[in-house]
Chains A and B, each alone.
Chain A
Amino acid sequence: AQSVAQPEDQVNVAEGNPLTVKCTYSVSGNPYLFWYVQYPNRGLQFLLKYITGDNLVKGSYGFEAEFNKSQTSFHLKKPSALVSDSALYFCAVRDMKGGGSYIPTFGRGTSLIVHP
């Protein structure tokens, strides 16, 4: 079975400060991990993914995420937040062990609010 948790419903950060949106996961095998962003009244957009290799993954809009296998985490980070980063962020996981079902599991989402 696979699951993903986003422990914070909302993250508040001041513009220019670093931001972190947390994600932890549980899988039987090795994970494929994804981050998506949803701006108001829009569909989800893909930000970045971890498949294998370097634990630090870089994505769109200056975002990056660090895969930590021992802590089963995949936190999303950005060195300097912008007001335009305010959105809903979703973490998703797919177990490479699949087991016949290839469906990724999404977290409940974290609302990021960047204050001017």
Chain B
Amino acid sequence: NAGVTQTPKFQVLKTGQSMTLQCAQDMNHEYMSWYRQDPGMGLRLIHYSVGAGITDQGEVPNGYNVSRSTTEDFPLRLLSAAPSQTSVYFCASSYSPQGSYEQYFGPGTRLTVT
């Protein structure tokens, strides 16, 4: 199993550009989520999904869109990049959103917006 994979590893964008961060998992997990990690802020949830076709907003959803057309993939779209979106982005998955299941994290995407 590859686990949770994320592409790209690094990205530099100019203000106003759009892009998609890719996330895929091969563990047949129902639950997938996107976090951003900023110094001193810990992990903040952007969006999550409890299954194909079902998504919902997390703590900091503004400026981001998601979709979940398959169990495996959960891309995160930045609509119009802003310097405030400079961060490290992590995708995570777990077997179920319920119960005691731990999350598996991808290696992260480091995004810089200039």
* Interface membership of A49, Cβ < 8 A: yes
Residues on B with beta carbons closer than 8 Å to the beta carbon of A45: 105
Dominant SS at the A interface? loop
Q: How far is the CA of A32 from the CA of B90 in the complex (A)?
A: 22
Enumerate A20-59 residues with CB–CB distance to B below 8 Å: 32, 34, 36, 41-46, 49, 51
With known contacts A102-B31, A102-B50, A102-B97, A109–B102 Cβ distance under 8 A: no
Q: Residue on B with the closest CB to A94?
A: B100
Interface size on A, residues (CB 8 A): 21
Q: How far is the CA of A106 from the CA of B37 in the complex (A)?
A: 11
Q: Which of B11-19, B41-49, B61-69, B72-80 contacts A (4 or more CB under 8 A)?
A: B41-49
List 14 A-B pairs, Cβ < 8 Å: A36-B103, A42-B107, A43-B4, A44-B43, A45-B105, A46-B103, A49-B100, A90-B42, A103-B58, A104-B103, A106-B35, A106-B42, A108-B41, A109-B43
Interface on A for B, CB 8 Å cutoff?
9, 32, 34, 36, 41-46, 49, 51, 90, 98, 102-104, 106-109
